[in-house]
Amino acid sequence: MTLLFVGIGGSLGAVSRFWVGKMMSQKFGADFPWGTFCVNLLGALLLGILSAFDASKNVYLLLGDGFLGAFTTFSSFMYEGFNLFKSSEKLNAFAYVVGTVILGIVGYFAGFGIAKML
C-alpha cells in the first residue's frame, strides 16, 4: 500500500513539474531556469504547510514523499546551476543556487507558519 500512495503522488507530481516547467519557460524564456526555481520554492512552501498539519502516514506518503518528492527536483537544480556556471553566467548561477536555498528555507517556514495560523 505504501508504494501505491507514493507512486500515485509521484506520478501526479512529476507531470505537474513538467507542466509548470514548460509554462514558466514559455512565459519567461529559457535564459534562467524559472521552472525548476518555481517548483522547488512552491514545493518547499507546500511541504511546510503539510508538515504543520498532523497528517496521517498515508496522506504524507501520497503528498509529501510522492507528490512533492516528484514535483521538486534536486537533480535538475544541480544540473541547471552547474550549466549556468559552465556557460559563464556566474551572476545568474549564484542567484539561482543561493536564491533557491535561502528562499526554499523561507518558503518552508512560511508555509508552516501559515498553516499553524489556520
pLDDT tens-digit series, residues 46-93: 999 999 998 899 999 999 999 999 999 999 999 999 999 999 889 999
pTM: 0.91
* Band (30; pLDDT cuts 50, 70, 90): confident
Q: Which three cell numbers stand for residue 3?
A: 508504494
Q: How far apart are alpha carbons 103 and 108 in whole angstroms?
A: 8
Grid cell 496521517 in the structure block, residue: 56
Residue 24 has pLDDT above 90, yes or no: yes
Q: DSSP letter at 47?
A: H
Residue ranges per domain, the chain? 2-117
Q: Which three cell numbers stand for residue 40?
A: 522547488
Sequence length of the chain is 118
